[in-house]
Amino acid sequence: MAILTATLASAFHPYHRLSPLVGVAGSPPPRPRLIALTFDDGPSPRYTPEILRLLNRYDAHATFFVLGSEAAQFPQILRDIVNQGSTIANHGYHHVNYFHAGLTRTLQDAALAQALFNKEKIPTAPYYRPPFGNSNKKLAEALATKGYTLTLWSIDTHDWSMPGMTYITRKVLSEAEPGAIVLMHDGGGNRSQTVAALESILPVLRAEGYRLVTLPQYVRALGLTGPQKLPLPPSPPQKNGRIPATRSMEAPP
């Protein structure tokens, strides 16, 4: 098992706060106005650089859940991600399905990817996203002993199915809220719709006051330590929360 570049303490509960945070009348305070964009299955020599250019344009950052099999072919793109200020995390080496492969093989696959990152001297953050999102408490606990936070998402764009740029854009903008984690893809197929949607999504979210951050920034800003699993539970409705935008969006093709 490869030595991980960073570790997080294992936690029994899904997450621990650094200190109790209480708002008016004992209610939890509103979460910071930030969103974590995440991209799976890369790096792609075509689409990842386009995404990095858009992130630069809008002073945004993201977390890229990288496949070892792709990283082995394009290690320079990993360095480009880091140089942009974004973060690299682990998506395994061979995109194994945990429900088919089982716990031992899944952990070995994650370790193989990490070994490659270490060999290439690529800094990574200790987050693991299981391919297809297939996971359970047993996997989360096992990953935590290896220093990883199992990371899923709260907004699934379904961009892998190429539902249309309009659908992807509408999905993100209609469900955006403080603390959201967005799932998109920069590899694994034609991601032109993802890039086109991102070009529409980023300026709107920035205009609405959102910071688009990496997962390490996200965890720090929310005052978390040792999260075993992300995303967090949904936040309670806020009386003066996000004002729904009046945007006209067509249905997906």
Q: Note if 40 is an active site residue.
A: yes
Element (H, E) at 138: helix 137-145
The residue annotated as part of the active site, out of 61, 91, 95, 185, is 185
Q: In sequence order, what are the residues at sequence separation of 6 or more whose Cβ sits closer than 8 angstroms to the Cβ of residue 234?
A: 154
- What letter represents residue 106's amino acid? T
The residue annotated as part of the active site, out of 40, 41, 159, 186, is 40
Q: In sequence order, what are the residues at sequence separation of 6 or more whose Cβ sits closer than 8 angstroms to the Cβ of residue 130?
A: 92, 98, 106, 139, 150
CA distance 19 to 25: 17
Instruction: Based on DSSP, count helices (H) and strands (E) in the chain, helices before strands.
Output: 9, 11
Q: Note if 185 is an active site residue.
A: yes
Point out the residues that are catalytic.
Answer: 40, 185
